[in-house]
Structure 1
Amino acid sequence: MRVAVLGGHGKTGRAVCAALVERGAIAVPLGRADWADLSGSLDGCDAVYVIAPNLHADEPAYVAEVLDAVRAAGVGRIVYHSVASPCVPAMPHHLGKAVSEDVVRRSGLAWTVLQPGAYLQNLDLTGPVRVPYDVHATFGFLDLADLGAAAATVLLDDGHVGATYELASRVATVAELAAEAGVAAEQVDDPGTHPWLSAMFAYYDRHGLPVGTLPLRALFGC
């Protein structure tokens, strides 16, 4: 099977490509340079894994454009990379993914949606961990290797068309992860680099981002 991974050169895309290759599939990582003729870049592909750029100003429009190219290329299978808890009004970029999920579901294609929790790899546990939200807030954390394996599973195995899966490898707090690594954890001020990130940090501070681990275990048959 030949799978195009749109956004395939970032850390998420690399994890998906690696897992596809491990399963014996052909992974085709596509980046910005391939947008000049996206439908042409998809020629010969059996499926597309869609990762939008981080904090895209209009992700639904981006996804709609991708879907047009997918249909033009005659590809009938798509997996959309969303986010856990996409329908949270306090996080604008999550809402953009919620609308994009609707666009995908109405596309007429054979679709699956993955909703990953926060990546474990986003935390540097080699030294003191400093984050702009409560270190005791609960999260469903996802390991990138598990994300890649889950993506390969839904793309290559039967039975996942029309399914939506929230994904987390484990439930923990930043403080717990830091303690396991033998380092300190502390909350610091929000750097204010992007208003959507500030909104996300404020939400995390109050509510964390809990995600159950059962869907991932079920995908892996354990």
Structure 2
Amino acid sequence: MKVAILGGSGKTGRAVGAALAQAGVATRPLGRAAFDDLPAALDGADAVHVIAPNLLPDEPAYVADALAAAGEAGVGRVVYHSVASPYVPAMPHHLGKAVSEDLVRRSGLDWTILQPCAYVQNLVPALRAAADASGVLEVPYAVDRPFGMVDLLDVAAATAAVLTTPGHVGATYELGGPALVTVADIAAAAGLTARRVEAEADVHPWLRAMFDYYDDHGLPTGGVPLAALIGRAPATVADVLARTFS
């Protein structure tokens, strides 16, 4: 089996590639240059995992091109990396993934959609900086809202399972960690405190909209689908931090 990973050079793509390699699957990481002749880049692949760049202005167009190229190259299996809660009008980049999900479902390919929550690893650089400076983790949204923060390596393992085992065609899986946590909880697990600060004036408007949504609702997700896919309890925040900072 050979899996092409569109977006294979990013942190998610690299993690998925490593998980597939551990399962004995050959991978072909592809970047934006592959779009110069995407059908040729996908030729010979049995499946394609589609990961769009962050805050891509037109993700549906990116996904549509990937689906068309997969069809032309004879790649019948696609896994799309979406996001938790894609159908949120207040977050434009989430809505772009919702539209893309619809394209995947109507592609005629054997599809699976993954909807991961934010990775615990996303906060690691800020945790390191806070540990080296004030001891206070600062984020531009409320620190007491619930999130289903998830381990990137668990998401990668789930992706590998979906691509290498039967029964996942036509499925949509929300991937959250084992328990709801707050940013304050994560800071405390690292021996720090947390506080909300105002976003910088030049922050991308889509990020500002996301921060506003997080202020009101956080991003809660459940952990049961992920546990079922990887065959064990998902890693906790403490597990990820211990592995990262050991």
TM-score (norm 1): 0.98
Task: Give the equivalent residue in structure 1 for 2:214.
Answer: 204
- Partner SS state of residue 17, structure 1: helix
AA in 1 matched with 2:198: D
Distance 2:29 2:150 in 1: 22
Q: Is the 8 Å Cα contact of residues 83 and 97 (structure 2) preserved in structure 1?
A: yes
Superposed CA RMSD in Å reads 0.9
Task: Give the equivalent residue in structure 1 for 2:18.
Answer: 18
Task: Give the equivalent residue in structure 2 for 1:77.
Answer: 77
- Partner SS state of residue 185, structure 1: strand
- Partner SS state of residue 37, structure 2: helix
Task: Give the equivalent residue in structure 1 for 2:194.
Answer: 185
Question: Are 1:138 and 2:146 matched, yes or no?
Answer: yes
Residues 13-57 of structure 1 show CA distances to partners (whole Å, capped at 9, x for unaligned) of 011101000100011100012111111011110000000111111
1:151 to 156, 159, 166: 159
Task: Give the equivalent residue in structure 1 for 2:59.
Answer: 59
Unaligned runs of 5+ in 1: none
2:172 to 164, 168, 178: 164
AA in 2 matched with 1:69: A
Instruction: Give the fraction of aligned pairs with identical amino acids, expressed as a percent.
Output: 64
Residues 39-92 of structure 1 show CA distances to partners (whole Å, capped at 9, x for unaligned) of 101111000000011111111111111111000100000000000000000000
Relative to its length, the structure with more helix (as a share) is: 2
AA in 1 matched with 2:171: A
Q: 4+ residue runs of structure 1 moved beyond 3 angstroms?
A: none
Q: Is the 8 Å Cα contact of residues 101 and 113 (structure 2) preserved in structure 1?
A: yes
Distance 2:193 2:18 in 1: 32
Residues 101-153 of structure 1 show CA distances to partners (whole Å, capped at 9, x for unaligned) of 00000000000000000110110233232110001110011111001101000
Shift of 1:221: 2.7
TM-score (norm 2): 0.88
Task: Give the equivalent residue in structure 1 for 2:241.
Answer: none
Q: Is the 8 Å Cα contact of residues 154 and 230 (structure 2) preserved in structure 1?
A: no
